[in-house]
C-alpha cells in the first residue's frame, strides 16, 4: 500500500476515554488524544504545557489533609483565598500569605467549631464583608473581614427567629386544657388575641405553663381555622397569627378547638443545622438539615437572619419541602436565572413568572432531572450553565435552561472523558480572561491526587479534557478571581507536608521558587529551598536550563552555575505528554487501517512560541549554532518542525510528543506520513 497523510488540525476533544478507541466514526476522534498529561488545551485547538506552581506556604496544624479553600472577594482591589484546616483559617492575598492575623502573632485565625468532619461537606456563601458557613453538625457561623487584611471576626450567627417543625406532635382538646367556657377572639393590626373565659366572662387561667411551651404551637378551630401562637401574653391570653382564617369572629366554645403542640426549632444541636446556603433576590436561603434533609427555607426580605413567616405577606419568610417519589437531601443551592436546588436524588428549580419575586403565596419547586449531586463538592457556574458532579462521582453534568422547552436540561460534560474522574473530591472553575484561553474546570481526584482539567468554550462546542499530575498529590483547589490555588501533599525527606501553591503561566516547574532579579540588584548567586530538602530539583536561570541538583540539608542552598541576572526558577519537574489516538485516515477504498501494520516515517508539527519538544522520544533542535549561544536562553520558535527517519512498524500508529527539559511548548497541530501494509 502506498503512503498516506494524516492531518490532525487540533486537539479540541482532549484526552478521550479508552473505551472510545473503536469509535473512529466520531468527529471527536479526529481531534482527540490518547494521553494529554500536564497540558492545557487552547480554544484555538493547540495543546500547551500546563502552568507550573509557585510555592507560597506550608500549612500547620492537626489532620491537615482535611482542607478546604474558600475564595473571598471583598472589593475590586481586595480578594483573598481562605484556606481552612481543622480549627484554623489561613489567609492569602495576591499569592502571598498574610501573617499576624487579628494581632495574634500567628499566620492563622482560630476557628474552633470547624473540625475535620465539618470540612468535607462544608458549604458557604459570601455577601459584602461577610461569609456564612454551614454544615449539618455546625451552628451556622459568619466570618467578617474587618478594617484591614489581617482583621477577621468569627462568630456563631444569632437568629432573630428560627423556623419550627412538629417533630413530636400531640393534640389536646380545648376542654382538657383547663377549666373555662370559651375562647374570646380579638383581631388587631394583623394579629389575633385569644383569651380564655369562664362563666360570667371572668378570665380563666388555663395557659399556666412557660411561655416557650406555647410559642410556635397551633390552635386548630372547628369547623376550620388555624392559629399559630406568637407569644404568651399572660396565663389567660395568647397572641396569634391566622394561617387559616377562622370560620367566624365569635367566641369559640371549649369543645370547638384543640391545642396542637410538639413544634420545636427546626435547627438545633439535637435536630441538626442547615446543609447549604445562598443569597437570592434579597433573601438568605438555607437548604436541608440533618432532621429535615429535603426542606428549603428563605428568610424575610432584607432581614437575613429572620425566618419568621409572620402573616405570610410577600416579604415574609418562605419554606418548601421537596416531596417526590425519591429521597432528596438538599446538598447545594445556586442563585441564577432561578433559584436552583440540587439534591442527592435530582435537580430542582423554583419557577417565577414575569420576573415576579418569590413569595409565600407563589413558592413552588419543580424537578427537572434526576441525576443527583455528589455531597461536598460545590457546584460551579460557567457561561449560564451550572456544573455539578453526579452523585456517584462518575460524571460531570451541566444544568442549563432551555428557552424553547421552558425547562432545564442536563447533559454529561464528561461523556467522552469520564475516565479522568477518579473519586472526585473538589471542583473549581477559572473563567477565561483572554481570547487565547478557555474556561477551565479543575476537579481534584482523591484516588490518585490528580486534577482533571476541562477546557470549555461553549460557543464553539469545545470540551477538552486533560490530566494534571505532580510529584505528590493535589488535595484541594480554589480560584480567587483568576488565580488558581492548590493545596498539595508532598513527601519531603520521608515526611508528608501540605503546601499552598499557586499556578503561574510563567513558571515551568512545580513547588517552585521563582522571581525576577531587579535591574538595580546585584546578580543572584543562590537561593534557599528549605521546603524541598533532599529532593532533586530543576534549575532554570535566565532562561537557561541548568543541571539538576539535590537540595542539601541546612542551609538548603541551591547555587546557580552562573549568577542569575534577570530571573530564576527552581522547583520540581513534571512530565508533559501528548499522545495521539491510533491513526485512522479514513481512506475512500479502505474504511479502516486497524488491522494493518503501519509505520509513521515523517511528522510535521506546527508549533507556537516553543523552546523544547521531543517527538517519539527524539529531541527536536531549536538552537541555531551560528554564534556563542550555548549559555543563552533557547529562542522561542513558531512554525513547522519536521522529524524524518522514524523506524518500526506497529498496529497502532501513534505519535508521542513530550519534553526533555521544562520550557515553553505549544503544539497547534500535526500531520504525518504513514506507510501501511499487510
pLDDT of 563 higher than 70 = yes
List, for residues 386-405, the tens digit of each pLDDT value: 999 999 999 999 999 988 88
User: Per-residue pLDDT for 6 more than 80?
Assistant: no
How confident is the model at residue 203, as a pLDDT? 87
pLDDT in tens, 334-372: 999 899 999 999 999 999 877 789 999 899 999 999 999
Q: For residue 240, is pLDDT > 80?
A: yes
Q: What is the pLDDT of residue 415?
A: 93
DSSP calls for 340-362:
EEEESS-EEEE--STTPPP-TTT
Give the model's pLDDT for residue 592.
64
Give start and end residues of each alpha helix (H) in 390-546. none
Question: How high is the pLDDT of residue 630?
Answer: 59
Query: Residue 240 in contact with residue 220, Cβ under 8 Å?
Result: no
Residue 627 has pLDDT above 60, yes or no: no
Q: Quick one: 605 exposed, middle or buried, by C-beta within 10 A (0-12, 13-18, 19+)?
A: buried
Architecture of 164-265 per CATH?
Beta Barrel (2.40)
The 330-335 sheet, strands edge to edge: 330-335, 339-343, 347-350, 366-369
Question: Which pLDDT belongs to residue 435?
Answer: 79
According to the per-residue pLDDT averaged within each range, which of 55-64, 135-144, 175-184, 631-640 is highest? 135-144
Q: Are 22 and 591 in contact (CB under 8 A)?
A: no
What is the pLDDT at residue 586? 64
For position 19, what pLDDT does the model report?
Answer: 92
Is residue 3's pLDDT more than 90? no
- Which residues make up the CATH 2.40.30.20 domain(s) of the chain? 164-265
Lowest-confidence region among 64-78, 417-431, 584-598:
584-598
Distance CA 243, CA 344 (A): 32
- Output the pLDDT for position 465: 95
Work out the pLDDT band at 560, boundaries 50, 70, 90.
very high
* Pairing mode, strands 339-343 and 347-350: antiparallel
> Residue 622: its pLDDT value, please?
87
Phi, psi torsion values for 334, nearest 5 degrees: -135, 140
Asked whether the predicted pLDDT for residue 38 surpasses 70, the reply is yes
The predicted pLDDT at position 595 comes to 65
Say which residue, 104 or 650, is predicted with more confidence: 104
pLDDT band at 63; cut points 50, 70, 90:
confident
Residue 26 has pLDDT above 90, yes or no: no
- What pLDDT was estimated at residue 514? 92
Which pLDDT belongs to residue 343? 96
C-alpha cell read off for 59:
500549612
Q: Residue 626: its pLDDT value, please? A: 56
Per-residue pLDDT band for 588 (boundaries 50, 70, 90) equals low
| 309-343 per-position pLDDT tens digit | 988 889 999 999 998 878 999 999 999 989 999 99
pLDDT of residue 318: 95
Identify the pLDDT of residue 221: 92
- Averaged pLDDT, 35-41: 96
For residues 380 and 430, the answer to whether their CB atoms sit within 8 Å is no
Give 272's DSSP letter: B
Q: What is the pLDDT of residue 24?
A: 82
Instruction: With CA atoms as reference, report the closest residue to 284 among 144, 73, 125.
Output: 125
Q: Quick one: pLDDT at residue 678?
A: 56
More confident residue, 446 or 325: 446
Torsion of CA 298, 299, 300, 304, to 10 degrees: -140
At 520 the pLDDT is 66
User: What dihedral do alpha carbons 447, 48, 576, 378 form, nearest 10°?
Assistant: -10
Q: CA 429 to CA 380: how far, in whole Å?
A: 7
pLDDT tens digits along 497-551 = 999 999 999 999 999 999 988 766 778 999 999 999 999 999 999 999 999 999 9
For 268-304, how does the pLDDT look when each residue is reduced to its tens digit (9 = 90+)?
A: 999 999 999 999 999 999 999 999 999 999 999 999 9
Q: What angle do CA 461, 467, 468 make, to 5 degrees?
A: 125
**pLDDT in the model for residue 2:** 60
Predicted confidence band of residue 422 (pLDDT cuts 50, 70, 90): very high
pLDDT > 80? residue 384: yes
Contact at 8 Å (CB) between 224 and 244?
yes
What percent of the chain clears pLDDT 90, i.e. is strictly above it?
Answer: 71
pLDDT of residue 423: 95
Residue 147: its pLDDT value, please?
92
pLDDT confidence bin for 597, thresholds 50/70/90: confident
Interstrand relation of 656-658 and 637-644 (parallel, antiparallel or unpaired): unpaired
Q: If you average pLDDT over every residue of the chain, what do you get?
A: 91
| 197-202: average pLDDT | 79
pTM above 0.85, yes or no: yes
Diameter of the chain measured on Cα atoms: 118
Amino acid at each position: 500500500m502506498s503512503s498516506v497523510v494524516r492531518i490532525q488540525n487540533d486537539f479540541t476533544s482532549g484526552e478521550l476515554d479508552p473505551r472510545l478507541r473503536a469509535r473512529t466514526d466520531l468527529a471527536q476522534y479526529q481531534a482527540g488524544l490518547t494521553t494529554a498529561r500536564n497540558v492545557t488545551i487552547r480554544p484555538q485547538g493547540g495543546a500547551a504545557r500546563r502552568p507550573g506552581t509557585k510555592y507560597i506556604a506550608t500549612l500547620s496544624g492537626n489532620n491537615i489533609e482535611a482542607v478546604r479553600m474558600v475564595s473571598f472577594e471583598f472589593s475590586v482591589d481586595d480578594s483573598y483565598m481562605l484556606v481552612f484546616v481543622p480549627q484554623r483559617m489561613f489567609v492569602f492575598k495576591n499569592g502571598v500569605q498574610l501573617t499576624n492575623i487579628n494581632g495574634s502573632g500567628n499566620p492563622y485565625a482560630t476557628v474552633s467549631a470547624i473540625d475535620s468532619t465539618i470540612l468535607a461537606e462544608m458549604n458557604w456563601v459570601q455577601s459584602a464583608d461577610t461569609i456564612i458557613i454551614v454544615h449539618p453538625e455546625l451552628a451556622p457561623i459568619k466570618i467578617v473581614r474587618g478594617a484591614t487584611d489581617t482583621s477577621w471576626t468569627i462568630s456563631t450567627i444569632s437568629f432573630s427567629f428560627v423556623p419550627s417543625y412538629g417533630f413530636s406532635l400531640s393534640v389536646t382538646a380545648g376542654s382538657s386544657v383547663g377549666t373555662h367556657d370559651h375562647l374570646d377572639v380579638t383581631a388587631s393590626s394583623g394579629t389575633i388575641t385569644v383569651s380564655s373565659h369562664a362563666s360570667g366572662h371572668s378570665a380563666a387561667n388555663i395557659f399556666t405553663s412557660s411561655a416557650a411551651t406555647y410559642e410556635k404551637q397551633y390552635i386548630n378551630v372547628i369547623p376550620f381555622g388555624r392559629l399559630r401562637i406568637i407569644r404568651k401574653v399572660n396565663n389567660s391570653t395568647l397572641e396569634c397569627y391566622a394561617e387559616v382564617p377562622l370560620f367566624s369572629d365569635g367566641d369559640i366554645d371549649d369543645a370547638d378547638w384543640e391545642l396542637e403542640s410538639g413544634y420545636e426549632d427546626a435547627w438545633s444541636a439535637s435536630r441538626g443545622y442547615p446543609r447549604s446556603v445562598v443569597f437570592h433576590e434579597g433573601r438568605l436561603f438555607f437548604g436541608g438539615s440533618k432532621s429535615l434533609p429535603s426542606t428549603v427555607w428563605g428568610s424575610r426580605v432584607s432581614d437575613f437572619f429572620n425566618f419568621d413567616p409572620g402573616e405570610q405577606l410577600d416579604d415574609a419568610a418562605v419554606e418548601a419541602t421537596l416531596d417526590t417519589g425519591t429521597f432528596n437531601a438538599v446538598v447545594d443551592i445556586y442563585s441564577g436565572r432561578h433559584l436552583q436546588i440540587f439534591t442527592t436524588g435530582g435537580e430542582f428549580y423554583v419557577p417565577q413568572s414575569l420576573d415576579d419575586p418569590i413569595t409565600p403565596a407563589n413558592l413552588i419547586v419543580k424537578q427537572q432531572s434526576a441525576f443527583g449531586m455528589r455531597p461536598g463538592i460545590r457546584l460551579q457556574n460557567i457561561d449560564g450553565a451550572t456544573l455539578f458532579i453526579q452523585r456517584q462521582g462518575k460524571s460531570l453534568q451541566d444544568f442549563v435552561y432551555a428557552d424553547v422547552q421552558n425547562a432545564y436540561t442536563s447533559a454529561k460534560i464528561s461523556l467522552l472523558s469520564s475516565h479522568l474522574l477518579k473519586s472526585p473530591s473538589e471542583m473549581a472553575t477559572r473563567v477565561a480572561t483572554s481570547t487565547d484561553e478557555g474556561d477551565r474546570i479543575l476537579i481534584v481526584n482523591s484516588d490518585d491526587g490528580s486534577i482533571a482539567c476541562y477546557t470549555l468554550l461553549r460557543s464553539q462546542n469545545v470540551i477538552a479534557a486533560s490530566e494534571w499530575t505532580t510529584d505528590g498529590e493535589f488535595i484541594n483547589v480554589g480560584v480567587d478571581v483568576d488565580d488558581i490555588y492548590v493545596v498539595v501533599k508532598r513527601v519531603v525527606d520521608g515526611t508528608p507536608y501540605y503546601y499552598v501553591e499557586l499556578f503561574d503561566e510563567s513558571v515551568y516547574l512545580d513547588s517552585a521558587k521563582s522571581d525576577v532579579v531587579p535591574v538595580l540588584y546585584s546578580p543572584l548567586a543562590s537561593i534557599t529551598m528549605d521546603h524541598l530538602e533532599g529532593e532533586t530539583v530543576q534549575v532554570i536561570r535566565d532562561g537557561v536550563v541548568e543541571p539538576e541538583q539535590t537540595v542539601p540539608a541546612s542551609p538548603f542552598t541551591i547555587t546557580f552555575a552562573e549568577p542569575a541576572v534577570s530571573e530564576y526558577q527552581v522547583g520540581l519537574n513534571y512530565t508533559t505528554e501528548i499522545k495521539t489516538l491510533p491513526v485512522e485516515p479514513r481512506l475512500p477504498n479502505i474504511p479502516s487501517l486497524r488491522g494493518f501494520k503501519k509505520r509513521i516515517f515523517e511528522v510535521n508539527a506546527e508549533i507556537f512560541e516553543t523552546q523544547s519538544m521531543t517527538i517519539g522520544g527524539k529531541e527536536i533542535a531549536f538552537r541555531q549554532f551560528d554564534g556563542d549561544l550555548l549559555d543563552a536562553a533557547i529562542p522561542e520558535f513558531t512554525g513547522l518542525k519536521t522529524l524524518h527517519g522514524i523506524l518500526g512498524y506497529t498496529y497502532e500508529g501513534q505519535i508521542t510528543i513530550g519534553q526533555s527539559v521544562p520550557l515553553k511548548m505549544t503544539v497547534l497541530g500535526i500531520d504525518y506520513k504513514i506507510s501501511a501494509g499487510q
